[in-house]
Amino acid sequence: MDCATSGKDDDDAFLSARELLGCALYGLEEDEEDIPDPTPLSQIEVHENERVVLIDVYMPSIRMARINRSVNRTVTLPAWLNAIAMEHDINFSQLLQEAIKSQLHINR
């Protein structure tokens, strides 16, 4: 898996590495690809300005975040209906979510 990340300081770099690892592993899972075994630390060669650190990631959190992420959908409405809805401060996303849940009998 060839990928890299960086950060403005150690904490930022560790956070970026954790996010990257989670995304990479999730992608492998979604594509039903094998997850490679980690390379033993003793086999990693580093240069003078480099160091090796362990990065962990809790995959259940990554999976849940991906399931609950928002996606954009384009809907078409008659202009008059859009104008009235906007006059009444209708939240289109919330209304559409509630309507779809109702249609599918989802109670969460």
The more confidently predicted of residues 50 and 25 is 25
pLDDT at position 104: 93
Between CA 75 and CA 73, with CA 85 as vertex, the angle to 5 degrees is 20
Structure tokens at 38: 């980690």
Q: Give per-residue pLDDT as tens, 46-96.
A: 999 888 889 999 999 999 888 888 888 899 999 999 999 999 999 999 999
Domain edges within the chain: 10-67, 71-108
- Which residue do the tokens 């904490």 mark? 11
User: How far apart are the C-alpha atoms of 14 and 51, rounded to whole Å?
Assistant: 13
Residue 1 has pLDDT above 70, yes or no: no
Percentage of the chain lying above the pLDDT 70 cut = 99
